[in-house]
Chain A
């Protein structure tokens, strides 16, 4: 990955009246990167994207594209293009006219426009649909016209605002891999806004998780999923179990008492400090938990060194490829997800006393 910053945000704040939409965020998005802004609706991700596009101006702070301060530059003077959530195709123009629009505004010679429109439509596999009107296209086709219309201008950065939001699930999955492949082929920096965590994980090189106007964590999909730094991130990305407890031993690997006589290990996120006696939360992903009949050890390497937690099996769901158990630790529900090949898990019946196990470094200690 290049070390050049395609986009840099410094302490960007956006207020609408008294509402703070973006609360002083700083981000560096590298050249050629597929970067996602991920968060629930109202977290400020779209506002952030619109400030890069120039459709909104920051209340304070600075937006830079390739080191150049954008300041009050209007959208039509910025080297970026946007794929809008509802496509925003011009209804009175054909597909080809839509795609040609940006180049016409930039006074690109007619011959070159023609050639590049054809190339762009080929890139998104819409050759032959040049003279259709947006009304005559399916959702997926509209989506691809919007992509071609933006990409044909060879922007330095492509901004995408939940571009797959209006598509049905199956088409969305297909477009995810198509988009990712397209991005790798054209090599343009993509900044992608989504509230769909799976979409962000699958497509992105890096993700910024946002909530209530703040960036909570920036990292690769793996870092975000495996090493969440806050309860919000652990909760928002994927599924997880939270167990409340009291820190009894600190260090890189902390020990936490989650019930009388039950102490588990959990890794401490970088840059966070906990003190002995502090109330905290242990986060453990359902697929990282082993379940066995009471007192047994799972068939995994180094199982003796795992954290062991007595529990009572409350519910069981057969999900085909996997089996899902809900066990009670005290009165906290812990979801356990095992591959449908695990033998020791199969011997557990609803109502039985069981033992849950996990590797200490796969649990995360988080602030409450």
Chain B
């Protein structure tokens, strides 16, 4: 025992490795290994009823650039980008509002923001379905019965419905990092800017925005990446017509039984997300991150 203590005292890094061991094992068995299997599958031929044939091929990757799938990629990208921008436009003012309340009120408001998300995601998405549906949806029914519109608005089964669902689903992930950045913001900096002849818009542009940027970038990543890979929301609110890349991938595994192609699509999507993440680290330079 004494020897063991002495060993640890002499080599403190040993302690760190020991502490890391459980999580490293977990990550390896349940994350790295499956990912590796998916990677291998993406280079194999499909089996007839799912599964794979052990023949090496690049065909799966070639197929991902088929215009049919490539268009879906672009679409997913577009939907995720619009979702991110809309979430930012709604989330930033909300985060700013919460961050400028009294500390006690802030806690309450953050809680209020989180409460809806304690409900199951599927249930919430179906709730949107009942709101947006074309003929029986609550919004269209209400507007029609009030006589404000003659025919139902196209609220469902299109990009609009998907974006609404995604914005709703990921809003807290945008608000929280921005809120965290704004909450840390020293109020006296705003006073100093005003004292140095900056009017409201200039205070925002030159002080508040740049200092909250790491929060904005983090929030945007947290919204963009899951939106890009979304498949539940488009499946329910897209009405089966408007599909995203996530739906195609799940179809390959569950319906088409083409596992290798699904695996290849997954890896291409991961590559896209990796690029997005790299952009994030670029945008918040080392210096900025150290500062905050």
A residues whose Cβ falls under 8 Å from a Cβ of B: 53-55, 74-77, 80-82, 84-86, 88-92, 101-102, 105-106, 133, 135, 149-150, 153
Contact = CB atoms under 8 A, between A and B. Distances in A.
A88 B198 contact: no
A84 B199 CA distance: 18
Interface in B190-231: 191-199, 202, 206-207, 210-211
A106 B199 CA distance: 11
Given A55-B191, A133-B291, A135-B291, A88 B197 contact: no
Interface of B: 186, 188-189, 191-199, 202, 206-207, 210-211, 287-288, 291
Contacts of A92: 210-211, 288, 291
B202 A75 contact: no
A92 B212 CA distance: 11
A95 B206 CA distance: 15
Contacts of B192: 82, 84, 88-90
A77 B202 CA distance: 14
B210 A81 contact: no
A84 B188 contact: yes
Contacts of A101: 193, 196, 198, 206
Given A54-B194, A88-B189, A149-B196, 15 more contacts: A74-B199, A75-B195, A76-B196, A76-B198, A82-B191, A82-B195, A88-B188, A90-B189, A91-B291, A92-B210, A92-B211, A102-B196, A105-B196, A105-B202, A135-B291
A318 B108 CA distance: 60
B201 to A, nearest CB: 11
List the 7 shortest-distance A-B pairs measured between CB atoms, nearest first.
A102-B196, A88-B192, A105-B197, A88-B188, A75-B194, A76-B197, A82-B195
A278 B287 CA distance: 69
6 contacts: A76-B195, A76-B196, A88-B188, A91-B291, A105-B196, A135-B291
A90 B291 CA distance: 11
B187 to A, nearest CB: 9
Contact of A102 (B191, B197, B210, B291): B197
Contacts of A91: 189, 211, 291
Contacts of B202: 105
Nearest to A149: B196
Nearest to A100: B196
Contacts of A102: 196-197
Nearest to B194: A75
B182 to A, nearest CB: 14
A101 B188 CA distance: 15
Contacts of B195: 53, 55, 75-76, 80-82, 150
Nearest to B210: A92
B196 to A, nearest CB: 4
Nearest to A84: B188
Contacts of A105: 196-198, 202
Q: In the complex, which of the residues A54, A55, A75 has the most CB atoms of chain B within 10 Å of its own CB atom? A: A75
Nearest to B190: A88
Nearest to B198: A105
Contact of B186 (A54, A75, A88, A149): A88
B207 A90 contact: yes
Contact of A106 (B191, B197, B210): B197
A86 B197 CA distance: 19
Contacts of B210: 92
A74 B196 contact: no
Contacts of A86: 186, 188
Nearest to A82: B195
Nearest to A106: B197
A201 B211 CA distance: 40
A117 to B, nearest CB: 13
B196 A153 contact: yes
A150 B189 CA distance: 14
Contacts of A89: 192
A150 B192 CA distance: 9
B255 to A, nearest CB: 51
Contacts of B197: 76-77, 102, 105-106, 153
Q: In the complex, which of the residues A53, A85, A88, A149 has the most CB atoms of chain B within 10 Å of its own CB atom? A: A88
A50 to B, nearest CB: 9
Contact of A55 (B186, B189, B194, B287): B194
A55 B191 CA distance: 7
A341 B206 CA distance: 62
A47 to B, nearest CB: 13
A92 B211 CA distance: 7
A81 B191 contact: no
A133 B287 CA distance: 10
A295 B192 CA distance: 63
A153 B198 CA distance: 13
A54 B199 CA distance: 13
Contacts of B186: 86, 88
Given A101-B196, A135-B291, A88 B207 contact: no
Contacts of A85: 188
Contacts of B287: 133
Nearest to A99: B196
Given A90-B207, A92-B210, A76 B199 contact: yes
A92 B288 CA distance: 7
Nearest to A161: B188
Contacts of B288: 92
Nearest to A105: B197
A201 B210 CA distance: 42
Q: In the complex, which of the residues B197, B202, B288 has the most CB atoms of chain A within 10 Å of its own CB atom? A: B197
A363 to B, nearest CB: 45
Contacts of A55: 191, 194-195
